[in-house]
Structure 1
Amino acid sequence: MVETEPAALKEWAVAVEALRSGRQILIMRKGGIREETRDFQVESESFYLFPTYEHQKKQWMKPEHQADLDKTLEGWSPQDTEVTIRCYAELFEDILIADQQQLNQLSEYHIWTDSFAEERLKWKRAKPLHVMLLRIYELSEPVRIPVVPEYNGCKSWIQLKDAALKEVRRKPVLSDAEFEAAVARIKSSLG
């Protein structure tokens, strides 16, 4: 049996922290500029979250979450040669959003401004916005891994080349009941 490298989804560091703290259970994806298929595809049902820093902008964050963005940038430099992995995710559901009214119903469940969410929906208008409900697990200890050239660029999915991740235990950030309640709130808001 051939062992594959673990998958990771690249996501803003501030969103990874919101997921890790249990403040939200969803992310929104349309795809990176360099996606092979030119749109977002779910490539794995379980994956690590690879924090990114370059494209985070305060004006795209709700005011109450802007300080969280500042915290993610403390000690970060574009010249960093390592990144810290803290979270593992399991996809609970991939909800496809095609209209603004549906998207508006999700506003209270994420850290981004409504205008940023709207821009994500409008980009590549013919393609739906993926709202991924994720069960998040925090690693028992953060793992620093080298940033290799294959991780760079505007793409959503990467394959991690660090075996140390396989040895680290993880625990859910929300209990089963808390997670089920969060999913129920989101699903009921969508009707």
Structure 2
Amino acid sequence: MTLPALKEWDAQAQALTSGQTAVILRKGGIMETHGGFEAEHRAFLLYPTFLHQNPAELRPEFQPLLRPDPMPGQIALPARAEVLDVYKIESLEQVLALEDLQALNAAAVERRFHYRNRPWLHALVLRVFPLTPPLTISETPEMLGCVSWVPLELGLEVPAAAPALAEAALEHLRGEVRDRLHVRR
């Protein structure tokens, strides 16, 4: 069975898995040159990466999540996620309105927004299911590189716990994102 995995900084993957946030802002990896990031998959595994993880771009409350790679050559997939909402945001003011709902600081959000002189970002609201225990796989050369999506060949079921955020909290967050982006319900 092939399952897609989304590469995300380890600190952000931890924040999503623990329910500290359910929002991520994406632009795309260096190798995604054409249209940048797209929410190609509505369900995926979180693939924590330490490559390019930048402490200076995380909000202070997420700094304690920074750590060295505990298992070089191995990937501990901490959670499965479902995309609930996707917004392509073309206003820096609107993107910055989401700053306190996700892990990146304002400078990082602005830098990503303007990356490659393409002023936009995707905001994704996710329902995250921690894996119990995390699924550990060996990293292969095909998984390397600055891409968002990695297809994983897994020959097993992926057991998950209850969602990291209770449904009421998640619905409140979804409403907050819609309100800040001025999206009608």
Conserved 8 A contact 1:61-1:113: yes
Is 1:121 matched with 2:113? yes
TM-score normalized by the length of structure 1: 0.88
> Which digits, 9 at most, give the CA deviation of each residue in 1:54-103, with x for residues without a partner?
21111111222212113xx2635xxx221101111101111111111101
Q: Please state whether the residue corresponding to 2:117 is helix, strand or coil.
A: coil
1:62-77 maps to which residues of 2 (within 5 A)?
62-70=59-67, 73=68, 75-76=70-71
Q: Which amino acid aligns with 1:187?
A: R
Aligned with 1:17: secondary structure?
helix
Summarize the alignment of residues 61-100 of structure 1 with structure 2, pairs less than 5 Å apart: 61-70=58-67, 73=68, 75-76=70-71, 80-100=72-92
Give the 3 Å change call, closer, same or farther, for CA 83–187 of structure 1 in structure 2.
Answer: same
Cα pair 2:15 2:62 within 8 Å, conserved = no
Contact in 1 for aligned 2:6/2:46 (Cα 8 Å) = yes
- In the alignment, is the contact (CA less than 8 A) between 2:24 and 2:103 conserved in 1? no
Give identity over the alignment, percent: 30
In the TM superposition, residue 190 of structure 1 has moved relative to its aligned partner by 2.0
User: Residue 91 of structure 2 contacts residue 119 of structure 2 at CA under 8 Å; is this kept in 1?
Assistant: no
Q: Which residue of 1 aligns with 2:51?
A: 54
Q: Which of 174, 177, 180 in structure 1 is aligned with 2:171?
A: 180
> Aligned partner of 1:173: which letter?
A
CA RMSD of aligned residues (A): 1.6
From the superposition, tell whether residues 159 and 64 of structure 1 become closer, same or farther in structure 2 (CA, over 3 Å). same
> What residue is the counterpart of 2:21 in the other structure?
24
Q: Per the alignment, in what secondary structure is the counterpart of residue 40 of structure 1?
A: coil
* Structure 1 residue corresponding to 2:41, chosen from 33, 40, 44: 44
Question: How far 1:179 moved relative to its partner?
Answer: 0.8
Distance 1:107 1:182 in 2: 13
Q: Contact 1:140/1:171 (CA < 8 Å) preserved in 2?
A: no
- Give the length in aligned residue pairs: 182
The answer to whether the 8 A contact 1:145-1:162 is kept is no
The counterpart of 1:109, out of the listed 101, 106, 122, is: 101
- Going from structure 1 to structure 2, the CA distance change for 1:51 and 1:167 (only over 3 Å counts) comes to closer
Structure 2: where are the runs of 5+ without partners?
A: none
Moved >3 Å (runs of 4+): none
Confirm or deny that 1:134 pairs with 2:126: yes
CA distance in 2, matches of 1:111, 1:169: 23
Q: Matches of 1:87 and 1:8 in 2, distance apart?
A: 10
Write the deviation string for residues 138-174 of structure 1: whole angstroms up to 9, x where unpaired. 112111101011110011101112223x242332111
